[in-house]
Structure 1
């Protein structure tokens, strides 16, 4: 079993052959406008539109913590919107919005889709930016859900 590959670069420009899934964590409020999603939206419009529609129509679908939405943006590239954050951090917030159990559940769905597509997975350190999570807690989830199933994972550290 290979581990996670760590690289410097932009996760919205995945460096691999074949089908690729760019994964990131979203909140459960329908908010899209800060953090990694800005890079996603600069490259593709479809993931934001699909996420907002998914949230808007949530009474009739599976939107919620632990859910995952897959949006094809190029012939060999998909974006995975993983709902792993309860609300958003504000100046008055106590605690962090990240929900590790929701990230874990969404990673399970991601693993199923990646296996189905024969895809590699590309991501920033999900749940560790605006969601306030710890990579020490997220990394084992990625290893267990994806790497142990033989899915190649690349984590990108972006140099601004």
Structure 2
């Protein structure tokens, strides 16, 4: 089985040849403006625009935990918006917003998209920032989904 390649650098400038699919975690309340999405929006306007439209029309589509949206941003780059966070963390909230089952559902869908695009997968340490997740759990889900399906996975630590 393949293993995760860890890279020190900027995931919005993916280090691989061929088609690249950059994935990240989104919340299920339509919020976009903190965390990794800021870096995405600085580089490409399309993923935020598509996410906000998806949320706005949620009564007529699949916008919910476990759903994904893949947005093309250049000839060889795509962004995977993955809904795997229940709300956002506030001073009054109990627990963390990450939903590991939703991460698993999202990554299973990403496998299908990546295979269709013949793409490698690139990500920050998804679910471990504002979503409050534990990398050991996320890493295990990546192994069960992406690596088990023979995909190349790159995880970036900024800096």
Distance 2:34 2:98 in 1: 15
Distance 2:32 2:8 in 1: 24
Indicate if the aligned counterparts of 2:73 and 2:79 stay in contact, CA closer than 8 A.
Answer: yes
Report the counterpart of residue 128 of structure 2 in structure 1: 128
Any unmatched runs of 5+ in structure 2? none
Give 1:144 shift. Answer: 1.1
Distance 1:140 1:112 in 2: 19
Q: Given the alignment of the two structures, is residue 137 of structure 1 paired with residue 113 of structure 2, yes or no?
A: no
Distance 2:13 2:143 in 1: 22
Any unmatched runs of 5+ in structure 1? none
Report the counterpart of residue 116 of structure 1 in structure 2: 116
Q: Given the alignment of the two structures, is residue 89 of structure 1 paired with residue 92 of structure 2, yes or no?
A: no
Distance 2:94 2:61 in 1: 30
Distance 2:2 2:124 in 1: 19
Distance 1:141 1:112 in 2: 16
Give 1:22 shift. Answer: 0.4
Give 1:107 shift. Answer: 0.3
Report the counterpart of residue 6 of structure 1 in structure 2: 6
Indicate if the aligned counterparts of 2:27 and 2:85 stay in contact, CA closer than 8 A.
Answer: yes
Q: How many residues align?
A: 159
- Residue 149 of structure 1 aligns to a residue whose secondary structure is coil
Give 1:137 shift. Answer: 0.5
- Residue 11 of structure 1 aligns to a residue whose secondary structure is coil
Report the counterpart of residue 69 of structure 1 in structure 2: 69
Distance 2:105 2:99 in 1: 10
Report the counterpart of residue 52 of structure 1 in structure 2: 52
TM-score, structure 1 normalization = 0.98
Structure 1 runs (4+) greater than 4 angstroms displaced: none
Report the counterpart of residue 154 of structure 2 in structure 1: 154
Give 1:93 shift. Answer: 1.3
